[in-house]
Structure formats: C-alpha cells, structure tokens
Structure 1
Amino acid sequence: MRIDFRRRTTPRLSVVVPIHNVAAWLPECLDSILRQPVGDLEIVLVDDASTDGSTAIAERYAAAYGHIRLIELPERSGVSTARNVGVAHCTAPYLTFVDSDDALPADAWSRMLRTLRRTGSDFVVGKAARVSDTEWFVPPLMQRNHEVERLRCTIEEAPLMLADVFVWNKIFRRDFWDRAGIVFPERTRYQDQPALTQAFLAAERFDVLTDVVYEWRMRHDLTSATQRRAELSNLEERRQTKLMTLEMVRRHGSQRLLDVLVREILPIDMWEHYRAAVAGPSHTWDDAYWTLLRAMQTAIWNDATVPFEQTTIVPRQRAMGAVVEADRRHQLRAIIDEIDAGVRRGDVARSGAPVRRPVLQGAS
C-alpha cells in the first residue's frame, strides 16, 4: 500500500474519496471539493487499483495541494475497503464522503457544519439530487424526507429516514462514527445500507436539512451496482443487504421502525429486479435469477412480517410482487408490457408509478 501524507495543521473536516477507474469524472469531483468555502479540509483519496489513468490524476492533485492525501491500494479491493481504509487515516473531528464520479454544489458543507456545532447532534443529513447531462431532479422519497428541517431528531420520530441509505449526503462527528463502530461491509455492492442503518439506529440525535448538498451522477456505462440489476451476483448481494438490514432493525426492538422498513423502504427497488427477471425473450429467462428473486421476496415479506400485498408501494408494483410469489413469470411480463405501453403514452412512469415531473435545478 502506497501512502502519500504530508504534515499540516489539524483539519476540521475529513473527506474520504474512493477511486476506481473514474478518470472521466475525477477532476470535476475533486475541483468541486476544492471549491468548497470550508477551511481546514483534509481530503483522503483512496485509489483502488485503477487502470484507466485515475491514479495519475489523483497523484497530480495530491502533489499540487498540501491538504490532499493519497493512498494507493495494491490490488482491487472494492469501495467498502477503500472507504474503511480512508476513514482509518482521517484525523478531523468531522467526517464525510464523496464518490469520485459525483460532484458537490457550490457550498455543500458550511451550513451542515454550522448546524452540527449548534445542535450537538451525531450527524447531519442533506438532500441529494440525481444529475446527468440532461436532467437534474430530486427523487420523490428524498424530497419527502427533506421537506422540512428537523433538528435533534430521533429515528423513532422520523422512521422513513431509514430509506436514506447514502453516506455522501451526510457529515458525521468522528467520535460518534468510532463509538458506533460503523464499518462498511465488504464483498457487497450495496455497502451503504447496512452502514447507514447502523448509524441511524445508533444515533441519539441527528439533523435533517432541506438544502441540496450532493449531486449524484446517473452514469450510462452500466458500471454502477444500481445499473446492473440483471446480474445474479448483484441480486444475491441485494438479498444479503436487505436481510442484514431487516435483522439490524429487528434487533433494535422497535415495532414501528420494523413496520416502516418492511412496508415502505425495503420494497422500493423491487420493481427493478422484477423487470430484470423477465428482461429478455422467455426462452432466455434466467431460472436461477427467478428462483433467488422469489426466495428473497418470501424471506422478507411473509405472515411473520408483512405480506407483500400490504406494502405501501404503488398498486402495479404490488401486482408484480403477487405474481412473483405465485410463480407466474409470463403474467409478470404482461404487467410490465402494459406499464411500458403507458410509458409510451406518457401517463405512467417506467416503475409503474404515475409520471412525476423532475424538480427544477435550484428548487428545494
């Protein structure tokens, strides 16, 4: 492991940036961090054995700026390891994360830090927007969770915040992070959900702001985990993550949190897996994927928790779940074909929900 560290004054905020083959986006990401009007930053870059020129870019930035530290992992280890290694080398009292293909708005962190100093909460959460070359919008559930400011909030008071399973729209007190023993689980592409569930359950208080503090890039090269739903390994990792989260909330002992998790949060992305299960012609459907999908659904939604038809997702998605449970793949394909026809008419979103207009840039 190669580490480039230079001594400097004690920083106020540590920023961990995991890097792997993001040469096309890394300069914009790092420039957006460097433009933040927050003094005493410590930026820890962790290069996870990049092969596309990202390492050279990171080296140039580390050479040019004394408050950037570069760690080079000798072999591909995954984003969880990269983040965990980065955290271990952070020295500031506050901690945050930025993914190296994303970017920050002009002043993402000033108000977050002021809020934490005022409230004494364990961490603060801001709003995130999805961005591409042609779009800028706040996802509906993100918008719902950030409609009003909530200071010194508890997870019992705002249980739907368990759906905010992203690490990069938050600033944590480092002593809280260490005290809670938060570690990103390795060998999974969905490492944020268990770590953030742990944070919400461990926090005595947290703050929720209405500001957009992060811009989450929609990539079209199919390299991100959320864009590879059709892979069997992806589904297996999603199953493990959902079951891990379910067990954590169950052990926490709050029936209210458990109910919100099973009814409103865990089913949110199931429609994407339903689509993936019947994505090709019927003679190419993956039997192993279908079997694992049905096993995941019945393990989470059953008489001991909540039947899938009693979740709060839109009716068409509940209908998809019902035919998956009944082992009717062709019927699932028919539902999806009907939804797609509605998409072409412009009255139904691809997920099966009514069409929602994107939030205009700069709107809260």
Structure 2
Amino acid sequence: MPRFSVIVPVFKVQGFLRECLDSVLEQSYQDIEVIAVNDCSPDGCGAILDEYAACDPRVQVLHLPENVGLGRARNAGMPLATGDFLFFLDSDDTLTPGALRAMADRLDASSDPDVLVFDYARTYWWGGTRRNVLAHVLTEVDGTFTVAEHPEILDLLMVVWNKVYRREFVHKHAFEFPPGYYEDTPWTFPVLLSAERIATLDRICLNYRQRRQGNILSTTSRKHFDIHDQYERVFAFVDSRPELASWRPYLHRKMAEHCLDILGKPDRLPPSDKAEFFRRTAELFAKHKPAGGAKADAEVRALEGSYALYRVRRQAGRGGRQLQRRALQARKSAAGRVKGGLSALHARRSLDPNLVVYSAFSHRGVLGDPAAVYYKAKEIAPHLRGVWVVQDAEQAALLPPDIEHVLLNTLRYRQLTARAKYFVNNVNWPGTLAKRPGSVHIHTHQGTPLKYMAADLLDKPGARYGVDVPQMLRRADRWDHSLVANRHSELVWERAYPCHFASVRTGSPRNDVLVGATPGAGTAVRERLGIPAGHTVVLYAPTRREYVRGGHVDRLDLARFAEDLGPEHTLVVRLHPSLATGPARGMGLADLHRRGVLVDATDEPSVEDVMLASDALVTDYSALMFDYANLDRPIVLHADDREAYAASRGTYFDVTAAPPGHVSGSYRELAWVFASGAWRDEDSTRLRGEFRARYCEFDDGRAAERVVRTLLLGDEGWLPQTESGARVPSPAAGHDQLASS
C-alpha cells in the first residue's frame, strides 16, 4: 500500500501536463501511486497520460467517456486509490523538489492526522513568484488540533490541493466533490470542520500556476452563480451536524465576503448579470442569517440594502481614479482624436465577409505561409479579396504588379482593417489594430520551434533583450487559430502563448511546395543563381546567436568549406533574416560571393526556392531543418556550440539527441562527413526518416487548401480527395502518440 495516492484530473492542459507529472514522479520520495483521470480532454492529454503509464508502473490512467468536470473527475479517481493519504493535484500545478518527503516526515511526526495542510506559492506566467500571504497561520500550532482550537486555519484559501487527506477519514465521512465551478468550497469546509486531528507543514510544497488566461475562475461567465449553490451545500452539511451549529455565524459571513468578492471583480460577471447576482447573494444572506444576527463589516451589511446603494458606495471609492483617467484622456492630441474618429466610423460598418488582409515577416512582402494561403485562395476561392499590408513604398515597389496592397498605418490601411473579416499573418499585427467581434485572426507562425519563444523567454534575459513579452502576448490575444505542423509545435505554442486560440493541425502551407518535390523542381532557381548544371548544391543556413553582440558568429571558414567540398559542388549560404542587413555579410561573405567562391542567397525572397535548389542542408539550430525534412534530402547539423546556444537562448529539446542526420562538433568532423560520403549514407537516411515522421506529421502538401477551405470558407468537414475521388483523412487522423520532446 503506497503512502500517497496522487489523483490528477486532466482536461485541456497538454502544454503543462508533462511538467506536472514529472514534478511528482521525479520526487525523491517514491512510495506513491498516481491516478490520472482524463476528463475526456479533446487535446493530446490522453496520449501523454498513456505514454507515462507505459513507462512508469506507478501511473494508472482512467479515461472518462464524457467530460464531467473537475470535481466529478476527482471522485472518479478516488475508488482506485489505495494509498494511506489522498492528494488532489491540479494538472497545471507542480510539486516543489522534496515536497513529498517533507509531507511524509510531517505525517509520521504527527501520527497520521486526518488532514495535513501545507504551504504553496503562486507562480506567474511572467516568472514571478509570491508566497501565500497567510503562511504564518501554518506556524502558530506545533502539534495537531481541531478547527475549534485553531479557527484561523479556515482563513486560508478554500482549495483542495494545499492539503492531503487520510483516506480512511474521507471514506468514513463519505466526502465527495459536487459538480460546479466552486466545487472546492463544499469539500473544504466540511472536511476541516469534521477533522479531529489537523496538522500543518510550514513549507512550500506546491507551485500554484497563475495562468495568464485559462483559469475558469478568472473568466467572465454566468457560471459564477454556482457559488450560491455550493454554499447551500455547506449550510446543509452544517444543518445535518448539530454539533457544528456554532459555526453558522462564521460561515454566514464567509459566504457574504466570498460572493461580494466575485461581484466586485470587474472581469467575473457580465455587467447585465451583476444586479441579479447581488439579489441572489442577498437572498442567501437573509435565508441563512443566524438567530440573533451576526457581526459583519459595512461591506457585508450592504447586502441588507439595494444593489443601487451598493454600487454608489463602491463607485465613491473609485471616484478619484476615474477623474485621473478622464484628465488623461482629455490630453490626447487632436490628431489622435481624428484618427480614432475615422477608425470608429469604419468600425461601425459591417464586416466584409470576403475581405482577407495578409501580412508576412513584419510587412516585408508576399512571403511564407500567408503567401501560400493567398495564392491557394486565389485559385479555389476567387471571390475572396486578398489585400497585403506592406511596410513602405520601397517594399511595395517589389511586389508583383497584380498584388493589391496598402501601406501600413495609412488611412486606407485603417479603412480595410476595420472592415476585414479575416487576417492572416506569421507575426503579430501592430497593437493599434483592434480586433472587432466576428473577425477571424489566423496565425501561421514561422516554423517549428526549437529555441524558446514568447513567454518562455522570460527566464532568458539575454535572449529577450529588446522583446516586450507582455505586449507580444496582448497582441496574440487576438488570435483565433494557430496553425501547427506537428504536435510538438502545438504543445509549445499553447504554453509559450498563454492566450485563447485554437490549435489547428493543418500543416505548414509554405511547405506544400516541398512535399513530394522532384529533384528537378529547383532547376529554374539554380539557373537564376548561376549554379552550374550538374553541381551538387550544399545549402548552409546558420541561425543567429544571442550570446554575442549583433547575433553573428563565424562558425565556419566558408572559403575553406567551399574548397573542401571539392569540384562539382556549390556552396550556397543563406543568413538568418535578422542578420541580412548587419555586418555579417561584410565579414567576408559578400566578397566570396563576388569572387564566385560561393553563392550568397540571403536576399532571395523565397527560402522555399533556395531549399528546392539544394541537394543537402548544413545548419545548426535553425528552424529551417524542420521544413527541409519535407524534401527528404540529407541534413547535417553543425553543433559545435550547442551548450552555449542552449544556455543563452534556451531550447525545447536537444536536437543532437535525435537529429535529422549526422552531427558534427567541429569543422574537422563536418569536413569528414562530406569527404567520406557519410552525409548521404544509410544512417543519414534513417535519422532523417525518423525526424520527418516526428516533425512533418501534418505536412501532406494540402495545408494551404486545408486553411482556405476550413478556416476561410468554413467547410469544417472538408477532406482532400485522391485522383480516384476517394476522400482521405486529415493528416492528424490516426495519430495516438504525441511527440515526447
């Protein structure tokens, strides 16, 4: 029989689930069992749980046939528990190192109390940590006690996960969780009031994740009315236990404070529902008012009056702040008011259901995934009007003549973006672009993430230098759809961008031209680049480095590498876009290109064309490798500074552990890989195949069409057809295992 049964209800937390499970299974204290309850989660949580269960016998998974909610999912796990103590752990929270050992030692020292209460810390998405402000309550009693002996214990947050419960005690009283939003309330009060022996542990054992978005108790919804039903359950429990009658005044006041706290939060209840919520609370307050009255502060006594009077009192306290805000608004410039007026005028017009606004790479032109979607829309949905946003007149001059475009921040730009139904971009739109209700934002990203992105950069100060992560996330709040080419990307984007969007397993539209490409597909590009016919083309595409000023490091002697490749070979170099206008090309690349030693393809507008023109790729940590794998052509990783790169930028996994081809750790090793022919041997082919299966799983050559038909045209049931007319399943179908990286 294990000491702890850790019950983990799971629903739509695939971005956090591995961290949660690892924090439990990697504890130094091993006498545990984990009962994970998959509450019919629609994402990849079920597959993750099955993976852990297959690898660790301590993990048992229960898959529920339908979603029942957090409380009932916990109930479903309890009959499977065999441990001495029950621990209900939310699947986006984590245990601190050594937590279970500390709990076990405290339980032993206190001779197995009914309940052990421990401390926690709130951990915020931006990296901050704040300890429970009532931590001192845990230090005030050394031995075991009852609530009557130490009532301050009830002042702690009414949650289930900061305690462990003796299983026999729970079974004796038949405690269970009710359905609803606030299911912890009618569990915690009855449990603590019934416990004959409570112990405390003055140690932070749990990190309580404060999700930027996604916490159901922080959303605007009528579901907050559930609090009234839950307190009815609390009062019913007390009424059934005459010995607890003395607690009614305390619970009456606690109920009022809890409900008024919800009412006072500006983002909890729809404004139209607040008066009703106040009325329901006042009725509950009057119904359960203890005989002889009850002590209450002024705010609680407001429940004895009207909602209008309550609002007047609250607004009086906010009057000063409102005056300050009005003064600030009055100081806006005349130009700003004119722009705002024009935008408001267009925003009052209805959305144009056939207008799609595109942008790519910070308005640099018709490029990447947005370009692939645009051209496919022109082909199969010509009634859709596509307009591109470009940075300036210089960029506009480079566009094909038939591309309709607008310049950023012009009047025409504001007019179009105020009325467009659809927005497609691979970077965030400017913060000044307001998302109108009914508009649809499709974010394509710029490839599969290897290096840390967005919120994950918060603990990498060097990498996030000059990056305003909070602003980035506020802009990402406008996304409706996030396109992914593999499940690794899906997990990373949902974690790195804690926003409300739906991941869509479409594949990467820009990679459609790479899937199944023939060797001759890049012939025209080779001719344009001046590459001799019959040459083997090696593409070298390094990424930038955060650990050096400017981001560029000469990892290779390019002239030597071009010479060592030998005759009948051409070395093509493409720098990271962020280095294209910096000193990197002046450090020798431009001169080598001029002398014909190599080809500098950094300015080629389409990286897909450059990939098609090559026979092999040499890269380091560039996301280009994930796209290139679709070509099924050799890839060599030159990772001679992996530790420095990972330490400065952060990587989601060690790509050298499961690479797309051979790995070199020095120039000598790189030269040998090509001189020996190993770059295209059987091991190279095998590694590439495994890599492609993992990271190109949704790339089937129909990604752009899938985006147009399902997201722009609304045909959610669309499936591609073969030449024979048979419909083939989505590339996501049939995959029941998530990428474990």
Q: Which of the five TM-score ranges fits, normalised by the shorter chain?
A: 0.7 to 0.9
Match of 2:92 among 91, 101, 104: 101
Q: 1:163 to 1:266 in 2, by over 3 A?
A: farther
CA distance in 1, matches of 2:183, 2:167: 19
- For residues 273 and 78 of structure 1, the distance between their equivalents in structure 2, rounded to whole angstroms, comes to 24
Give the letter aligned to residue 10 of structure 2. Answer: I
Residues 1-364 of structure 1: matches in 2 within 5 Å?
10-120=1-111, 121-133=113-125, 134-140=127-133, 142-164=134-156, 165-186=158-179, 188-221=180-213, 223-228=214-219, 230-235=220-225, 237-252=226-241, 253-254=243-244, 256-264=246-254, 266-268=256-258, 270-276=260-266, 285-286=271-272, 288-300=273-285, 304-305=289-290, 310-311=295-296, 318=299, 322=302, 325-328=305-308, 330-331=311-312, 334-335=315-316, 337-338=318-319
Letter in 1 for 2:2: P
Question: CA shift at 1:259, angstroms?
Answer: 2.8
Which whole-Å CA distance do the structure 2 matches of 1:289 and 1:116 have between them?
45
1:162 positional shift: 2.9
Partners in 1 of 2:316 and 2:232 — Cα distance? Answer: 27
* Shift of residue 128, structure 1, vs aligned partner: 1.8
The CA deviation at 1:325 is: 3.2
Letter of the 1:334 partner, please give it: Q
- Distance in 2 of aligned mates of 1:117 and 1:303: 40
Q: 3-state DSSP class of the match of 2:92?
A: coil
Cα deviation, residue 266, structure 1 = 4.8
Separation in structure 1 between the aligned mates of residue 100 and residue 282 of structure 2, nearest angstrom: 39
Q: Is the 8 A contact 1:243 1:300 kept in 2?
A: no
Which residue identity does 1:242 align to in structure 2?
Y
- The amino acid that maps onto 1:211 is R
| In structure 1, distance between residues paired with 2:304 and 2:218 | 21
1:106-137 deviation per Cα after TM superposition (whole angstroms, max 9, x unaligned): 12122222222332311211012211133211
CA distance in 2, matches of 1:196, 1:247: 14
Pick the structure with greater CA Rg: 2
User: What TM-score comes out, normalization by structure 2 length?
Assistant: 0.40
2:93 partner letter:
D
Which blocks of at least 5 consecutive residues in structure 2 are unaligned?
326-741
Q: TM-score, normalised by structure 1?
A: 0.78
User: 2:307 corresponds to which letter in structure 1?
Assistant: D
SS where residue 91 of structure 2 aligns? coil
The one-letter amino acid of 2:234's match is T
Query: Across the two proteins, how many residue pairs are aligned to each other?
Result: 320
Q: Taking CA–CA contacts closer than 8 Å with sequence separation of 6 or more, which of the two structures ends up with the larger relative contact order?
A: 1
- Going from structure 1 to structure 2, the CA distance change for 1:336 and 1:26 (only over 3 Å counts) comes to farther
The whole-number CA distance in structure 2 between the counterparts of 1:273 and 1:206 is 33
Q: Paired residue for 2:469? A: none
Q: Is the 8 A contact 1:80 1:185 kept in 2?
A: yes
1:31–1:259 Cα change, 3 Å: same
Q: How far off is 1:251 after superposition?
A: 4.3
Distance 2:324 2:252 in 1: 28
Offset of residue 61 of structure 1: 1.1
SS of the residue 1:152 aligns to: coil
2: CA distance, partners of 1:111 / 1:82: 27
> Aligned letter for 1:135?
G
Root-mean-square deviation (CA, aligned residues, Å) is: 3.0
SS of match in other structure, 2:41: coil
Cα drift, residue 308 of structure 1: 10
Whether contact under 8 Å (1:46, 1:73) holds in the other structure is yes
What is the Cα deviation at residue 269 of structure 1?
5.5
User: Deviation at 1:96?
Assistant: 0.8
Q: Partner letter of residue 110 of structure 2?
A: T
**Cross-structure match for 2:684:** none
**Counterparts of 1:250 and 1:339 in 2: how far apart (Å)?**
45
Q: Tell me which residue corresponds to 1:356.
A: none
Q: Matched residues in 1 for 2:323 and 2:48: separation? A: 45
Distance in 2 (CA, whole Å) between partners of 1:109 and 1:57 is 23
Q: Distance in 1 between matches of 2:93 and 2:315?
A: 37
Structure 1 101/18 Cα, relative in aligned 2: closer, same or farther at 3 Å?
Answer: same
SS of the residue 2:203 aligns to: strand
> Using a 3 Å threshold, how does the CA distance of structure 1 residues 201 and 271 change in structure 2: closer, same or farther?
closer
The aligned amino acid for 2:90 is D
Partners of 1:202 and 1:219 lie apart in 2 by 33
**What SS does the corresponding residue of 1:234 show, helix, strand or coil?**
helix
User: What SS does the aligned partner of 1:15 have?
Assistant: strand
**One-letter identity of the residue aligned with 1:326:** S
Give the residue type in structure 2 aligned to 1:210: D
Give 1:271 deviation, angstroms: 2.5
SS of residue in 2 equivalent to 1:69: strand
Q: State how far apart, in whole Å, the 2-side matches of 1:278 and 1:79 are.
A: 19
The ranges of structure 1 where at least 4 consecutive aligned residues each deviate by more than 4 angstroms after the TM superposition are: 276-280, 306-310, 339-344
Distance in 1 (alpha carbons) for counterparts of 2:84 and 2:121: 27
Displacement of 1:337 after TM fit?
Answer: 3.1
Offset of residue 262 of structure 1: 2.9
CA distance in 2, matches of 1:343, 1:42: 56
1:241, distance to aligned residue in structure 2 (A): 1.1
Q: For structure 1, list consecutive stretches of 5 or more residues without a partner in the other structure.
A: 1-9, 345-364
Deviation at residue 250 of structure 1 after TM alignment: 4.7
3-state SS, counterpart of residue 127 of structure 1: strand
User: For 2:120 and 2:222, how far apart are their aligned partners in 1?
Assistant: 29
SS in 1 for 2:63: strand
Report what 1:360 is aligned to. none
> How far 1:99 moved relative to its partner?
0.3
Number of the residue aligned with 1:4? none
Please report how far the alpha carbon of residue 156 of structure 1 lies from its aligned counterpart in structure 2 after TM superposition: 0.6
Work out whether residues 7 and 36 of structure 2, in 8 Å CA contact, stay in contact via their aligned partners in 1. yes
